[in-house]
Structure 1
Amino acid sequence: MSKKLSSVIEESLLSSTSHGIPNIIRSDKLAIRLMWIFFTVVSTGLCSYMIVQSIMNYFSFETTSKIQIHTEKSSILPAITICNSNFFTSEYSAQFIKNFTNDIKSNSNYFNYDQYYKLFQIVTSSEELLSQSYKFGDSFEKLILNCKLITVDCTNREYWNYYYHQLYGNCYQINTKKENLIRVSRTGWNNALKIILNISVADGLEFLYPSVGAYIMIHNQTTSPLSTDAFAVSPGLDTNIAISKQFKSSLPKPYSNCDGDTSDPNVFNSKLFNLITSRNISYNQKLCMDVCFQDFIIQECKCYHADFPFFSDEFIKPCYSDEDYECMNSKIENDSKDTSILNDICEPQCPLECNSMSYKIFYSFNDFIKEKNNEDINNFYNFTGTNRRQMKNELMSLFFYYETLSYEEIKEKESIDLVGLLSNIGGIAGLFLGISFLSLVEIIEIAFQIVYFYTKSTKVDDTSE
């Protein structure tokens, strides 16, 4: 029986498309047979090693990046949020503060930060005052003196949205209304969106502030300004802000750390993700992580940190008392030493987006109003005596423009996909052993022949009995 089985296996191996084993069997000389055995073993070893390497490379999920430069004929300007850096600026603020100034003692020998924060705490800790908080800051007509893009006069309120910032108060956003989006078809300073701001404060408020200025945030139309780092601008300057944009598309896990399409509010189900998407805000992980840490501060200290995004329909006071600061600072210090809050609590609730648009900002400064200009403006408006103004300390000019209408697109692609893996394995196997996919069928045939042989033998034995 064993001879018959050996004959069946030998016949199948001799008809194999691989080159090594049939030649070993056919060789009638020992030296030639040993040569075929040696090279077959070496080739099998190299083939196995390289196939294992290909499989390991496939499961390392490496990617290659493809960078393309796209040139647009016209492009939508990003959304721009502009805030006076000071919360109290209006006549209403001046009148309100008169009632408290004498009762608030400052411990500062330099600037009146203590008074400012105590007044800010009074407003933001009262639900009634907070509901009227827009009265303490700049009106649109006062802050935005002029706005123009070539021939488009955007001083009109229809181009702007009001935005309340938890730290700066009244802010105004341009290019967030879908029906009035500003597009540009030319680049450079001459084709800039030009805005002149009046960042002065009402008489009687000068004692609160060491200086005045504005904070600018540049972001997508649907992105919260709180997810964008603000940059400060000082008065008396022409500030040229050159913008370029970059789009990045990454592959989701396991190829990268990103988690898929975060633009779909139904893809992920976590408290923080749902909170952000329910506000019709474009999601990003940075915003989510900041909201998470804010939530932790609120739970532990019963107040919110003014420097972190705060989304809540409940009335919660800001952290401004000594006890609040002590609690808040201890949590921040602990977080800097132990990242378990971000890693264990926040990150599981905050998926990383795969697609993102970012803006690169370069800005430079020139003098906007010199002393001679200041005198000319005062003389023109007949500002004399106590009415004489220091325009250099109150006005600023902003120029927003695209540096180029070309933008950089970075796309990730898997280095080895399934087709590539199969091609590598097939090429290696064919190179070293001369086998192909059909050679695997031959192994199945041999196994079938063995099973068939034993099955037939068993039936013969049963019949003979």
Structure 2
Amino acid sequence: MSSSGDGESARAGERVYLHIYDYETKEFSGLTTYHGLVRIYNSNTWPSRIFWCVVVLSCLSLFMIHSGYLLLGYHSKPTLFQVKTIVVSDGMSFPDITLCNHNPLKMSRLSDYNMSKAVQSYLLSFLDDHVERDDLEEEHRAFEEYKRSYRLQNERNFSTADFFFHVRPTCDDLVLSCSFAGEDIENCCTNSEVALTDIGYCIRFPYSMLKKKQFVSGRGYGWQFILDRSSDSAPDSPILSDTGFYLVVQEPEKEVSVRSKGLSVPPGATLHAGISYRNVSHLQRSEWGFCQQKWSPELHGSTPIGLKYTLAHCEWNCLLQEWLLTCGCRPMTLSLNISTDAGICTPYDMHRCANVVYENAMKCDCDIECDLIDYDVQVSYSELAISTTQRKFNFSEQYIQANISVMNIFFRSMTYERHEQQKQLQTADLLSNIAGSMGLFLGMSTVTLLEIFIYLFKSVWGTVNTERQKQFMEAMMEEENERRQSLVIVEEPHRQASLAEELAHVNGSHTRKRLSRRISVVPLHIHMDKRGSNNLSFRDAPLHSQEAAAHRNVFSSRKSLVSSAFDRRGSTMDGAISSLSPKFQHHRKSIAVGALGRRGSHLEGAGEILITRQGSMAVMPHAYRRSSSVAVTTGPSNRRPSVQPSDDTLHLIVNHRRPSAHPKHFLI
């Protein structure tokens, strides 16, 4: 007995769970905006339910795939550049201008050192970081011998850096004249400085000293330099195979490689350099970019190079560290503000270490700087006007063609571009895209997500919490009791026909016509609870029998007419009852009607088998779930029903129609 009792208790608990799930699912499917759920829940047939399940699952799959692509794109950290063109009204400041001679030595100054051609050629190799010559060892021995003799003669060690600085071409040697916007500038070399580059010492005209601005675009409103290379100062060396000058346009306080950025002009020619520039801002790694704001000891280690962070400076710093680590010295071309006492590598040292250094230097972790100015120079050339140069400097035609060059440097337009790197997708954009996809495929919103969460919580909570189950059962029992007390029973007193006779009479009346295959006859009765009710008077109405002289009846005042259940197309139970009985003064407050049929139909809840007196009719059970229209009749058409004070039961016939007729219409 105990085991059977436990089994029944378990089955009862399972039924409670199913009732809770069914109730919550019904409420959720009727309220949520999630597309397709209500159609799945209210489907009449399995093919329809399967179809809508496939549709909902397909849309859910498409939503998940599309959202996955959106998340993948977001985590790839896409960026874009916003470009603005800015027109300058107060003039454009010139960048720093660096001028270099292809020949880093002045022959007239070499006489102070009294060195051989082999030593001169070896010293020029200090400016080359890739030395590959067969006679390199012989030149190295000659250079070592020269240093010993120099120390004996001058009582100090020979310094390679001092040597190149002393024998370099000065600004007065290099620049014959300069002018800005057609106006000659006297002693323009006083506004210049010496700069050590990767090809030796050069002359630089920084903006901080000249402070020149161009207000009108074009060649005649910028700089013009006339340069002299002094061919008699060129040493006889295979290293110096080129002649002419280098021009470098660069951002202030930033070093660049002349070999990479330099523009070359040969003797006897005029260089026209039109400048335009872009102000570029990059994002740091923490903001989806790849720029570096400043030196980082974790990434770059020690920074012996004393310059602010740029991509070029980072590469040089990495290369310098490899030279110091591998060879214990530094190349001549990497001596930019170096805070170390390491000596300068000889060409022989560079020949031994270069391959290892450049192989390891490829592992440098260098990012572009976050803010930079990128100068774009468009170059054109023309032949030098020899006659004009002769009148100005009194040089021969042969000397001008062999040594003189002219550089015109100007801004092409009074505008520049502002390039700002930005995130292509913000977090708000990602949420907006996912929400749009969710609305497109599922019809959902944030409120729908909250509804789903509440539905799941209430469903799970109802299965694990006994107090919730108890409350649910009490609510169901109270609702059932109220429904039973609010039903109406009406009976005709003088009618002695039995239930079998009534059914036979109904069947006989229907057999006289050709029955439609769409109609099934189901009897319905209305129950009247006389307990605690009030007496309501009738309005004046035609009387059909002598017993109906005093029409009185008793109806429960606890429930009003449920007309909202029949709100579609104007059909209500009010009209059905009014056609069967005299009109009441307060009939909208006296009759309560349930609903019968499948979920959501108009007569759900009234399908109960009630124990009544003999002569009443039973109705279909509540489990009858056919979608139906309802037609109310009273048997033979020649009998007009009337309600008397002593009536107990009125027999009604409910015709259930199939869904293809007129679903959910209450027909009188």
Sort the TM-score into its range (normalised by shorter chain).
0.7 to 0.9
Residue 145 in 1 paired to residue 145 in 2? no
Q: Which runs of 5 or more structure 2 residues have no equivalent in the other structure?
A: 1-15, 123-134, 151-155, 471-668
Q: Which runs of 5 or more structure 1 residues have no equivalent in the other structure?
A: 108-112
| TM-score (structure 2 length as normaliser) | 0.56
User: What's 2:574 paired with?
Assistant: none
User: What's 1:13 paired with?
Assistant: 28
Code of the residue aligned with 2:185 in structure 1: it is D
User: What's 1:438 paired with?
Assistant: 447
Cα RMSD, aligned residues only? 3.9
User: What's 2:314 paired with?
Assistant: 288
Report which of the two structures shows the higher radius of gyration computed on alpha carbons: 2
For residues 292-327 of structure 1, the C-alpha deviation after alignment (integer angstroms, 9 at most, x for no partner) is 123212321233334556552334444444353132
Decide whether aligned partners of structure 1 residues 106 and 129 sit closer, same or farther in structure 2, where only a CA change above 3 A counts: closer
Q: 3-state SS of the aligned residue for 1:294?
A: helix
> Which structure is richer in relative contact order (CA contacts within 8 A, separation 6 or more)?
1
Decide whether aligned partners of structure 1 residues 58 and 368 sit closer, same or farther in structure 2, where only a CA change above 3 A counts: same
Percent of aligned pairs sharing the same letter: 16
Partner Cα distance (1:153, 1:164) in 2: 25
User: What's 2:306 paired with?
Assistant: 279
Residue 89 in 1 paired to residue 100 in 2? no
Q: 3-state SS of the aligned residue for 2:314?
A: helix
User: What's 2:362 paired with?
Assistant: 342
Partner Cα distance (2:390, 2:219) in 1: 27
Decide whether aligned partners of structure 1 residues 126 and 232 sit closer, same or farther in structure 2, where only a CA change above 3 A counts: farther
Find 1:199's aligned residue among 207, 224, 229: 229
The 5 A counterparts of 1:41-440 are 41-73=57-89, 74-89=91-106, 91=108, 93-97=109-113, 99-101=114-116, 104=119, 128=159, 130-131=161-162, 133-150=164-181, 151=183, 153=185, 155-165=187-197, 167-169=199-201, 171-177=202-208, 180-200=210-230, 206-207=235-236, 212-226=243-257, 229-253=261-285, 258-260=290-292, 262=293, 265=294, 268-270=296-298, 272=300, 275=303, 279-281=306-308, 283-307=309-333, 310-329=336-355, 331-332=357-358, 335=359, 341-343=361-363, 346-347=364-365, 350-368=366-384, 370=386, 380=394, 390-440=399-449
Instruction: Report the CA distance between 1:256 and its aligned residue.
Output: 6.1
Partner Cα distance (2:420, 2:299) in 1: 30
Q: 3-state SS of the aligned residue for 2:261?
A: coil
For residues 164-191 of structure 1, the C-alpha deviation after alignment (integer angstroms, 9 at most, x for no partner) is 336422x2211341x6422111222222
Instruction: Report the CA distance between 1:429 and its aligned residue.
Output: 1.5
Partner Cα distance (1:48, 1:352) in 2: 38
Instruction: Report the CA distance between 1:437 and its aligned residue.
Output: 0.6
User: What's 2:627 paired with?
Assistant: none
Code of the residue aligned with 1:342 in structure 2: it is M
Decide whether aligned partners of structure 1 residues 58 and 163 sit closer, same or farther in structure 2, where only a CA change above 3 A counts: same
Q: How many residues align?
A: 428
Q: 3-state SS of the aligned residue for 1:100?
A: coil
CA contact (8 A) 2:246 2:262 kept: yes
CA contact (8 A) 1:23 1:36 kept: yes
CA contact (8 A) 2:32 2:448 kept: yes
Q: 3-state SS of the aligned residue for 2:196?
A: strand
Partner Cα distance (1:146, 1:174) in 2: 13
Q: 3-state SS of the aligned residue for 1:223?
A: coil
Partner Cα distance (1:146, 1:377) in 2: 10
Partner Cα distance (1:250, 1:71) in 2: 22
Partner Cα distance (2:336, 2:435) in 1: 57
CA contact (8 A) 2:306 2:339 kept: no
Instruction: Report the CA distance between 1:149 and its aligned residue.
Output: 0.5
Instruction: Report the CA distance between 1:226 and its aligned residue.
Output: 3.8
Instruction: Report the CA distance between 1:219 and its aligned residue.
Output: 0.6
Decide whether aligned partners of structure 1 residues 28 and 369 sit closer, same or farther in structure 2, where only a CA change above 3 A counts: closer
For residues 70-127 of structure 1, the C-alpha deviation after alignment (integer angstroms, 9 at most, x for no partner) is 3323211111111222222164x23224x212785979xxxxx98999889969x956
Decide whether aligned partners of structure 1 residues 198 and 41 sit closer, same or farther in structure 2, where only a CA change above 3 A counts: same
Partner Cα distance (2:77, 2:242) in 1: 53
Q: 3-state SS of the aligned residue for 2:401?
A: helix
Instruction: Report the CA distance between 1:415 and its aligned residue.
Output: 3.4
Code of the residue aligned with 1:249 in structure 2: it is S
User: What's 1:110 paired with?
Assistant: none
Instruction: Report the CA distance between 1:424 and its aligned residue.
Output: 1.7
Decide whether aligned partners of structure 1 residues 362 and 273 sit closer, same or farther in structure 2, where only a CA change above 3 A counts: farther
CA contact (8 A) 1:290 1:309 kept: no
Decide whether aligned partners of structure 1 residues 286 and 241 sit closer, same or farther in structure 2, where only a CA change above 3 A counts: same
Code of the residue aligned with 2:435 in structure 1: it is G
Code of the residue aligned with 1:164 in structure 2: it is L
Q: Which moved more, 1:139-148 or 1:299-308?
A: 299-308
